[in-house]
């Protein structure tokens, strides 16, 4: 092969991160070859010992990667053969690089799913800790970036715990479809040398064995699904980032980022920029791009293995690294956020946040909701530009809009009373919020 072609087609520069998985698969394959009588027990022992030595060399950085050998598989096999002789050359019996890389990728994704779930759990714990620390703080809830209704700040933090829980559930679902052994499928149609694939699956801790060799070597659905899960995590972190960036502006002043997780301006000394949140928001675009890259690579491939599949790795590896770094940053950044309770108290004291409560007051008096909504809308419109707050309108004026208003309407404009009344499942009453904090503390201990 021409040197330029070899450089163009090599993958060892990035697929070398699969070395542990490749070695684990090779040891399990050697065991199956020995059980089938293809290699001797002594040869199997030499292979395993040699592979363990190579694994230690790679881990310590002493292994010399040969660019001419194309990929992680050939580098390890070549090193093994040099180390132990003919026994190493027998290892590839009844195996193709097609089912070998399919195995390595599944082992890698399984490991990374577990790792990502642990990081999600750590971030959830940080959010629950914030919720507990600020359990009594009230903040405006927003729709369309307009003040809408009051909520507890703890309820806001717990909302992100929920979205991360869905991410963990998706990863668990992805694990089920990843947890299928492809080794033994050969290049595309198995081998006349029949190995005990179920025994290999047990050795490598797979719960199932693939049932169609042609599909097994070409299936990268699990890679797409994992990349989608990672993109969803990025999206959730990006939305949290956006909230915190907005809340950290002078116009809001609800939060302040610690110096450890922000930066100053190169020109303006008064600035404290939310770089970690902004970078996370930006990196989410890369996660989307990586997913689309893999999907686009797969969309027009003919059946069985094609070299195009080499292109799934760099995109997936980048997504894994990006998400795990973001989860780690957020787990450290969130507990160090400074919460400006006074600013939040001031903002949540806006009586207009209770306009819906006022409409519901009329509903409880017998008025249809649409009529109540219209009535309160007129009241709010009448206060605008007159410097009068909704909660300060005299009862006599309210009665001009509806005779249903009575002296008890004054109770409506008590924010904490309003929140206490929101007792339905999922609503932000104090009891519900405390119950959810307790629930998640128990869940995250397991």
pTM (whole model) above 0.85:
yes
| Per-residue pLDDT tens digits of the chain, which is 446 residues long | 788 998 899 999 999 999 999 999 999 999 999 999 999 999 999 999 999 999 999 999 999 999 899 999 999 999 999 999 999 999 999 999 999 999 999 999 999 999 999 999 999 999 999 999 999 999 999 999 999 999 999 999 999 999 999 999 999 999 999 999 999 999 999 999 999 999 999 999 999 999 999 999 999 999 999 999 999 999 999 999 999 999 999 999 999 999 999 876 665 656 688 999 999 999 999 999 999 999 999 999 999 999 999 999 999 999 999 999 999 999 999 999 999 999 999 999 999 999 999 999 999 999 999 999 999 999 998 876 666 788 889 999 999 999 999 999 999 999 999 999 999 999 999 999 999 999 999 999 96
- Enumerate the β-bridge partners of residue 147: 142
φ and ψ at 208, to 5 degrees?
Answer: -140, 165
Domain boundary among the residues 346, 378, 397 is at 346
CATH code where residue 423 lies:
1.10.40.30
- Enumerate the β-bridge partners of residue 152: 138
- Enumerate the β-bridge partners of residue 141: 149
Domain count, the chain: 3
Are 423 and 320 in a shared domain?
no
**Residue in the block written with tokens 């790795």:** 313
Four-residue CA torsion sign, 18, 221, 316, 128: negative
Four-residue CA torsion sign, 305, 307, 310, 315: negative
- Of 9, 40, 68, 265, the active-site residue reads 265
Give the separation between CA 292 and CA 230, rounded to whole angstroms: 12
Are 79 and 172 in a shared domain?
no
CATH code where residue 268 lies:
1.20.200.10
- Of 144, 250, 266, 403, the active-site residue reads 144
Residue 211 within a domain: yes
Residues 6+ apart with CB under 8 A from 155: 131, 428, 433
Q: Could you count the other beta carbons within 10 Å of the beta carbon of residue 22?
A: 27
Say whether 144 is catalytic: yes
| Helices assigned H by DSSP within 351-429 | 355-364, 369-383, 395-401, 415-420
Residue 60 within a domain: yes
Do residues 390 and 326 touch, judged by C-beta distance below 8 A? no
Residue 141 within a domain: no
> DSSP code of 336?
G
Domain that holds residue 428: 348-445
Give the separation between CA 397 and CA 376, rounded to whole angstroms: 12
Are 30 and 68 in a shared domain?
yes
Rg of the Cα trace of the chain?
30
Say whether 265 is catalytic: yes
Do residues 104 and 310 touch, judged by C-beta distance below 8 A? no
Are 188 and 307 in a shared domain?
yes
Are 257 and 341 in a shared domain?
yes
- Quick one: pLDDT at residue 2? 86
């Amino acid at each position: 092969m021409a040197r330029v072609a070899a450089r163009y087609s090599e993958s060892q520069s990035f697929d070398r991160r699969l070395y542990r998985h490749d070695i684990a698969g090779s040891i399990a394959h050697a065991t199956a070859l020995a059980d089938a009588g293809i290699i001797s027990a002594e040869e199997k022992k030499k292979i395993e010992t040699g592979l363990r030595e190579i694994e230690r060399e790679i881990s310590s950085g002493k292994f010399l990667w040969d660019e001419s050998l194309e990929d992680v598989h050939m580098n390890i096999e070549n090193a093994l053969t040099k180390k132990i002789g003919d026994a190493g050359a027998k290892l590839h019996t009844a195996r193709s690089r097609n089912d070998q890389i399919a195995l390595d990728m599944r082992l890698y994704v399984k490991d990374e799913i577990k790792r990502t779930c642990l990081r999600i759990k750590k971030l959830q714990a940080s959010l629950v800790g914030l919720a507990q620390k600020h359990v009594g703080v009230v903040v405006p809830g927003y729709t369309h970036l307009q003040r809408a209704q009051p909520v507890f700040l703890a309820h806001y933090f717990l909302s992100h715990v929920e979205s991360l829980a869905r991410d963990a559930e998706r990863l668990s679902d992805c694990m089920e479809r990843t947890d299928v052994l492809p080794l033994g499928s050969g290049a595309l149609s198995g081998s006349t040398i029949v190995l005990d694939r179920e025994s290999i699956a047990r050795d490598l801790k797979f719960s199932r064995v693939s049932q169609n060799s042609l599909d097994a070597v070409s299936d990268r659905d699990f890679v797409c699904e994992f990349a989608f899960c990672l993109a969803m995590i990025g999206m959730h972190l990006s939305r949290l980032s956006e909230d915190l960036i907005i809340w950290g502006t002078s116009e809001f002043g609800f939060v302040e980022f610690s110096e450890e997780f922000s930066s100053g301006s190169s020109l303006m000394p008064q600035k404290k920029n939310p770089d970690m949140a902004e970078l996370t928001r930006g990196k989410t675009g890369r996660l989307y791009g990586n997913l689309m890259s893999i999907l686009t690579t797969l969309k027009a491939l003919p059946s069985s293995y094609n070299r195009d599949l080499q292109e799934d790795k760099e995109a997936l590896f980048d997504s894994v690294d990006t998400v795990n770094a973001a989860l780690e940053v957020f787990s450290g950044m969130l507990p160090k956020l400074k919460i400006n309770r006074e600013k939040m108290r001031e903002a949540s004291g806006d009586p207009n946040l209770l306009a819906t409560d006022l409409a519901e007051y009329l509903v409880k008096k017998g008025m249809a909701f649409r009529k109540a909504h219209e009535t309160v809308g007129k009241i709010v419109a009448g206060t605008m530009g007159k410097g009068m707050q909704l909660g300060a309108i005299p009862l006599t004026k309210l009665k001009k809009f509806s005779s249903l208003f009575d002296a008890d309407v004054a109770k409506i404009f008590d924010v904490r009373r309003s929140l206490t009344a929101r007792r339905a499942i999922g609503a932000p009453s104090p009891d519900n919020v405390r119950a959810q904090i307790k629930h998640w503390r128990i869940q995250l201990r397991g």
